[in-house]
Amino acid sequence: MSREFVRDYFAAITVFRRSNPCGLNNCLGRRALDLARVGIFRLGVFSWTCQDRYLRWPDLPKITVLPHPYLAPAGAVLDVSAGTSLCDALLDHGIAIEHACEQSRACTTCHCIVRSGFDALNDVEEGEEDLLDRAWGVEPQSRLSCQAIVGEQDVTVDIPKYTVNHAKENH
C-alpha cells in the first residue's frame, strides 16, 4: 500500500467527518470510503452533498498532446483539473517534458505551442514573453508550459522536437 494511498484514505475520512452532517454511516459516506479503499478517491476530483446521495464527476478539461517522436509517439489525451499548469499535467501523466529550471520561469526548456484553446489559458506575462524570445521554434501561440494554467476549456498542445538546454547539450 503506497504512502499516497494511505494519505488519501485518511483525507477522505477527515473530509467526510467535517463536511457531512449525516456522518460516515450513511450510504454516501460508505460509498466514498469504498472508493478510497480502492484508491480512486482524490480530493477535489468529485463533489458531493448530503441531498444528492450520489457522487457527481465534473467534466474535466482535456489536454490533447500531439505526437512527439520521443515524449509521446502516439500523442495523448489527458484529463486534468482546471488550475493545473500544462507542465505539471504532462509530468503527472508520464510525459517527461524538460523543465531545467524546475518550473521557476528561468529557462525555455518547457516551451510548447498551443494549437487550440490558447484563450482558455491564463494571460501571458511580460517575463514569459521575454523568455519565449529565446526559445527554439517560437510561434505566436507559444507558451512556457510551467506558466500556462489550464482553464475550463480543452487545449491542444504541440511539444517542439528541440529545446535550448545548454546543460543537457554539454555547452
Range 24-28 average pLDDT: 48
Give domain status of residue 165, yes or no.
Answer: no
Give domain status of residue 68, yes or no.
Answer: yes
Tell me the CATH number at 98: 3.10.20.30
Residues 49 and 24 in one domain: yes
Is 34 or 80 the better-scoring residue by pLDDT?
Answer: 80
pLDDT above 90 (res 12): no
Task: Name the amino acid, one letter, at 153.
Answer: Q
Is 34 or 105 the better-scoring residue by pLDDT?
Answer: 105
Secondary structure, 3-state, the chain: CCHHHHHHHHHHHHHHHHHCCCCCCCHHHHHHHHHHHCCCCCCCCCECCCCCCCCECCCCCEEEECCECCCECCCEEEECCCCCEHHHHHHHCCCCCCCCCCCCCCCCCCEEEEEECHHHCCCCCHHHHHHHCCCCCCCCCEEECCCCECCCCCEEEECCCCCCCCCCCCC
Residue-wise pLDDT for 65-77, tens only, equals: 999 999 999 999 9
Give domain status of residue 124, yes or no.
Answer: yes
Residue whose grid cell is 494511505: 6
Query: What is the span of the domain harbouring residue 49?
Result: 1-58
Residues 69 and 148 in one domain: yes
Confidence of residue 101 (pLDDT cuts 50, 70, 90): confident
Residues 15 and 37 in one domain: yes
Range 147-163 average pLDDT: 92
- Contact in structure between 56 and 111 (CB atoms under 8 Å): no
Residues 102 and 54 in one domain: no
